[in-house]
Amino acid sequence: MSKSSQWVVGLNPVASALEHDAEHVLEVLLEAGGRNPRIVEIEQQARRREIEVRRVPAQALDGVAGGLRHQGAAARYAAAKTWDEHELPALVEAAAGRALLLVLDGVQDPHNLGACLRSAAAAGATAVVIPKDKAVQVNATVRKTSAGAADTLPMFAVTNLSRSLRELQKLGVWVYGLAGEAEASLYALDLAGNVALVLGGEGEGLRRLTREHCDQLVKIPMPGGFESLNVSVAAGVALFEAVRQRSR
């Protein structure tokens, strides 16, 4: 597990980080000589929070922005703790037959990811697994929405989600995918042992390869007639059904 930093660039992203998550802002870089009222406001806001502020040439901001439009402002931000995917088997084994994993296949909205992490932490989940590509990663919005869960819950961004599901199955984890068209009910499952609950992203749901690597597809019964729930709501329902069963 490691902890690193990343750059947030642009007037609005830097101001948002200072307003909502200042404890993770390590330093702020502002363009030397820039008298834009927003830049002055950001400088004052950072100094009030005792965050180091440096005035630097535009070329220095270009260097940290990586081609993005920085508008004269950048902040070095403490990245959330990251876990190497090779550390996941040890966590599963340490759970002694009661691992509870949340797997998110392509969630794009940072508010949804943050809410999923918050539910997973509240449910005592072992870890959360997301793909590295075509999915939102942990950023300032995710961390704010997660209410701290992004910094405490083991989270794995994996290169190949299908391969990771196969590895989990080899470790004795039952992999259940949630899909609205499935015949079986979530509530008919035995969720007391090693379980991975797999949910798809907004709109498309589970991708084909992900479906194929699930042991079973199940649905959350919805007598009200709706076809689906928001992914963060569905994650909460599924996780706390596992909690209910494990508390018996």
Q: What is the DSSP string of 11-63?
A: HHHHHHHHHH-GGGEEEEEEETT---HHHHHHHHHHHHTT-EEEEE-HHHHHH
If you average pLDDT over residues 100-105, what whole number do you get?
A: 98
Mean pLDDT of the chain, nearest integer: 92
Q: How far apart are CA 27 and CA 42, in angstroms?
A: 12
The predicted-structure confidence for 211-229, as pLDDT tens digits, reads as follows 999 999 999 998 887 777 8
Bridge partners, residue 131, by sequence: 158
| Predicted pLDDT of residue 1 | 52
The predicted-structure confidence for 106-135, as pLDDT tens digits, reads as follows 999 999 999 999 999 999 999 999 999 989
Strand order in the sheet with 5-9: 5-9, 73-78, 25-31, 52-56
| Predicted pLDDT of residue 3 | 52
Q: Please report, in angstroms and rounded to a whole number, the separation of the first and last CA atoms in the chain.
A: 34
Q: Which CATH architecture has domain 85-246?
A: 3-Layer(aba) Sandwich (3.40)
pLDDT: which is higher, 248 or 232: 232
The DSSP annotation for the chain comes to: -B--EEEEESHHHHHHHHHH-GGGEEEEEEETT---HHHHHHHHHHHHTT-EEEEE-HHHHHHHHTTS--TTEEEEEEPPPB--GGGHHHHHHHTTT--EEEEEES---HHHHHHHHHHHHHTT-SEEEEESSSS----HHHHHHTTTHHHHS-EEEES-HHHHHHHHHHTT-EEEEE-TT-SEEGGGS--SSSEEEEEEBTTTBS-HHHHHTSSEEEE---TT--S---HHHHHHHHHHHHHHHHT-
Please state the pTM of the whole predicted model.
0.78
5-78, what's its fold? 60s Ribosomal Protein L30; Chain: A; (3.30.1330)
If you average pLDDT over residues 147-154, what whole number do you get?
A: 87
If you average pLDDT over residues 71-75, what whole number do you get?
A: 94
Q: How far apart are CA 101 and CA 87, in angstroms?
A: 14
Show me where the domains of the chain are located. 5-78, 85-246
Q: How far apart are CA 4 and CA 80, in angstroms?
A: 7
